[in-house]
Chains A and B, each alone.
Chain A
Amino acid sequence: MHKQDPGRRHFLVRSMTTAILAVATGAGLPRPDRVLASAWPTAAFGASKEQDVLQLLYSGTTPAKTLATTIDAPAISENGLAVKIGIKTTLPHVQSISLLLAGNPHPLAMTFSLSKEMDGFVQTRYKVAQPTQAKVLVKSGKQIYVSTAKIDVTKGGCGG
């Protein structure tokens, strides 16, 4: 009963290797068919300087300025606990969108990986500790694009 056909076993192992290779090759494509999210970037979220976040997320690639990304935020917010920031980009092949708020203790607010089914759009509310410059980084193909907007708050959203 325990004697198995060695040919069958070999075939199974071989087909599994092919499947793994197929997945690995797919990961290198500029626009992934599905989002392959890496682990939560602890160091980038824990960094307290904007430059450190950029270095950790994009390993030093200099972002190019773009007008294709708009940051929709109120010119002045009374309550820094919930500032609505809408990000919209018309750049092609958007792979990820990240938001940095330099005035916060930890500038990196969020990073979204998007597949080709999604538009370049992310909107939610954020805590903003002090008037600052919001920086949105969009990864499109192999290039990183940056856009900025001024966020003004009269009462900060961090601390007690």
Chain B
Amino acid sequence: MSRLTKLKTRKIGDTTRFLVLINHPMETGFRRNKKTGARIPAHFIKEIVFRLNGKPVATGQLGIAVSANPILILSSKTAHSGDTLEVSWKDNKGESGSAQMTIA
């Protein structure tokens, strides 16, 4: 199953913000099914990598505390118009996703 991964940038002064939205439940593993009482197994994004022109520039290791459907924002002063920005992530169940764009 592929999950929606949306990537966009926003120019603020001389910096470029990288915004990524991932449709992901970010299940903690603490919640229980209210009817059966069974624990809902943990399901969360573990790692997210940002690449600028193919080069990894930021790697995030995430825990269960990150909210569901996270919007993650980073910032760069060296990203320029025409650069290729790519984001890819993987979760604890082996699911993954990615998105790519050219900075406007």
- B-binding residues in A (CB < 8 A): 34-35, 37, 40-41, 45, 81-83, 86, 101, 104-106, 108-119, 121-128, 157-160
Contact A118–B55 (Cβ < 8 Å) = no
Contact A109–B60 (Cβ < 8 Å) = no
Residues of B within 8 A of A86 (CB): 73
CB within 8 A of A112: which of B34, B46, B60, B68? B60
Known contacts: A40-B46, A124-B70, A158-B28. The answer to whether A117 contacts B65 by CB under 8 A is no
- Describe B's contact surface by its main secondary structure: strand
CB within 8 A of B65: which of A37, A106, A115, A159? A106
Give the CA-CA distance A105 to B42 in the complex, in Å: 14
Residues 58-81 of B, flagged 1 when their CB comes within 8 A of A and 0 if not, give 111111111110111111111100
Most buried by A among B32, B52, B59, B75: B59
- A-binding residues in B (CB < 8 A): 15, 17, 26, 28, 30-32, 34, 46-47, 49, 52, 55-68, 70-79
Contact B73–A122 (Cβ < 8 Å) = yes
Known contacts: A124-B67, A127-B28. The answer to whether A41 contacts B58 by CB under 8 A is no
Contact B65–A109 (Cβ < 8 Å) = yes
Known contacts: A45-B63, A109-B65, A119-B76. The answer to whether A125 contacts B30 by CB under 8 A is no
Contact A111–B61 (Cβ < 8 Å) = yes
Q: B40 CB to closest chain A CB, in angstroms?
A: 8
